[in-house]
Structure 1
């Protein structure tokens, strides 16, 4: 069956990013996030050496130790930075908001952001997931304009990962282990691993059916998203425990068990991640997309890869080589070392920095790569500078 593409072009007219509070160095991370059971993490230094992140941001007041942002407030601030006047906000007809970790289960994150913004009634959509939900939100905004259902929309992705990484979330599990094992309190590695990997931030994009009258815009040529959940079990998860390869959700545990097992914590099956993240989200996914879109590596002036750790940089490059899609490092753009891994917001935060860098020129093409280890999904996106 052949699909006829709709004619409406879609442009990113502007981007913004918000990083809460001052940068937090590696040395100060435990001062902000706290120590579990009063003990320094034994995994922290190893993980930080591997991920090559030098600083990141948290929505936590470093003086008081209290949160000074909600996730919805962080997202709203990114939108307000994008559209600073009430009249500009009033012009949007679609708001798409995305996060992995909303402030509450219900209502959805999107309407909470709308409530913070207080702009006039408009269509509000929220997408969920992990790293990929930012680009699925962008695809909804893109498709709405392409279908002629929207003329001007805002897409925003935000993460407040510190809300589930703070030491107070693990007190119950730590106390439980002391009583049960009479051992030093220590998190399972798959939980402690992510405490030093994730950080907070938000990014927003303004979309319309016309390029900006002045300055640059990014034309969205296409966005392709692929899930490989039919092939692999869950790798990154929260609100559940993994038993024999299957997830058992927190609703099936007692309140005491939920606390003792720190079920709100984000967990990562590191072995499964290492074995599959490049092979599946790069080699399998891009092979299919390259054939579908008839693209070649030399088509691109910039490659924006979202990877969670510097550890994966060389492995990602090797994966591209394995499928004859080698893009040299001089074309890569990332801000992971100083912005950290902000999950679904990462691609927006990268695009914002590049967009305002002065390094983009008419006619250049960008290839963006956004993987997700949740149950192994991948997205690639092509943008043209106009």
Structure 2
């Protein structure tokens, strides 16, 4: 199979389940812990900047309206056009933080939901970076001529684990701590008001779309700092005093429940100390040295931010790396789409491509961090018209 040496994102799509949920309506969907409204909610929402988000939950019953695989399949179906049908997929690559089951992998479950003919399927694991590792696999498959086309996805179904039925009552001292130290909000309280559901998909092909803008993938760098950093965000394990993780298989069924082993947890102190430098600082330094990356050659910066809380630390880190970039050229839809984890970069790029603000020849720098053991990813894209 021949490869031109260039790969283009020729189609993007987003699927967000159900109606948008405003801040004051979150508890009517996720439920109230101990039957009482949360006093932490306003503090967390004030710093994260999110106004609306989507949940795959029926507010009346609290039951799921979609599985993660169904969210993802719906995003893939929305790539369909006169020129492309999901039945044409040669390679399907999916990334998610939290699949519906431990086995089989998320990708084959999505393939099953789609009911399309046999094709290559792969899944990438991780947290927020799972979406970009899926995209990199898809890009490489087309780039080296192993696939005629590839579809990559990022998806999250966070709401089921955030429902009130999973949480212990909040203690009064916790709330007073929140007022004094907003960063404390980054544990279970924080996650409850932060994470939401959604899926995005991208079609990758060896030539640009004839009728509308495509995005040429110039490079994707993914840089893990796990050689020097311990786990910061984790699930299915407990963090021990020496910083190592003890996995769920080493606990009895009773311990798994009593210790909330499967709950998503965050080492707040480590997050605040390290996340900006370890993810954007180090990634930028490397790309500036090895890719000749310069801020004045970029037209748009698309950061995946879990919260507006991180905007200034990120900007400070960029300035310290001598990468000065005006915030009016940052693009995020965190405020109305929420923090959809590994799907966020897909959902951002889909909106920017379709809102008419992007022009041929413009260059985009996308940044995707995750605090698992601190991984930063940078992706450089160029908008091209049908002439390529």
Q: What is the alpha-carbon distance in structure 2 between the residues aligned to residue 52 and residue 184 of structure 1?
A: 24
Task: Judge which range, 260-269 or 104-113, deviates more.
Answer: 260-269
2:46 to 21, 46, 49: 49
SS in 2 for 1:333: coil
Paired position in structure 1 for 2:268: 270
CA apart distance, 1:185:
12
State how far apart, in whole Å, the 2-side matches of 1:41 and 1:159 are: 24
Cα distance, 1:342 vs structure 2: 0.2
* 1:258 aligns with one of 228, 234, 256: 256
Count of aligned positions: 372
Structure 1: gaps of 5 or more residues: 1-5, 178-182
Offset of residue 87 of structure 1: 6.8
Tell me the SS of whatever aligns to 1:82: coil
Aligned to 2:329: 331
On the 8 A contact 1:32/1:60 being kept in 2, the answer is yes
- The gaps in structure 2 that reach 5 residues or longer are 176-183
For the residue of structure 2 that corresponds to 1:28, the secondary structure is: helix
- 1:199 counterpart = 2:161: no
Is residue 119 of structure 1 aligned with residue 116 of structure 2?
Answer: yes
Match of 1:346 among 322, 339, 344: 344
Higher deviation after alignment, 41-50 or 366-375: 41-50
Find the counterpart in structure 2 of residue 133 from structure 1: 130
Q: Which residue of 2 aligns with 1:293?
A: 291
1:312 to 303, 310, 325: 310
Residue-by-residue CA offset, 1:336-360 (whole Å, 9 max, x unaligned)? 0100000000000000000001111
Find 2:7's aligned residue among 10, 16, 32.
10
Residue 62 (structure 1) shift = 1.9
Quote the Cα distance in structure 2 between the aligned partners of 1:86 and 1:298.
Answer: 36
Cα distance per residue 1:46-76 (max 9 Å; x no partner):
1111101111100001233211100000000
* Alignment of 1:154 onto 2:148: no
Matched residue, 2:376: 378
Q: Distance in 2 between matches of 1:144 and 1:199?
A: 30
The equivalent position to 2:62 in structure 1, one of 60, 65, 69, is 65
Q: When the two structures are superposed, what TM-score results if normalisation uses the length of structure 1?
A: 0.93
- Going from structure 1 to structure 2, the CA distance change for 1:87 and 1:131 (only over 3 Å counts) comes to closer
Change (3 A) 1:38 1:10: same
CA–CA distance in structure 2, aligned partners of residues 184 and 37 of structure 1: 13
Shift of 1:36: 2.3
1-side partners of 2:326 and 2:311: how far apart?
Answer: 12
Shift of 1:186: 7.8
Q: In 1, distance between residues paired with 2:263 and 2:229? A: 22
Is the aligned partner of 1:103 residue 2:100?
yes
Stretches of 4+ moved more than 4 A in 1?
A: 84-87, 183-189
Aligned-residue Cα RMSD (Å) equals 1.9
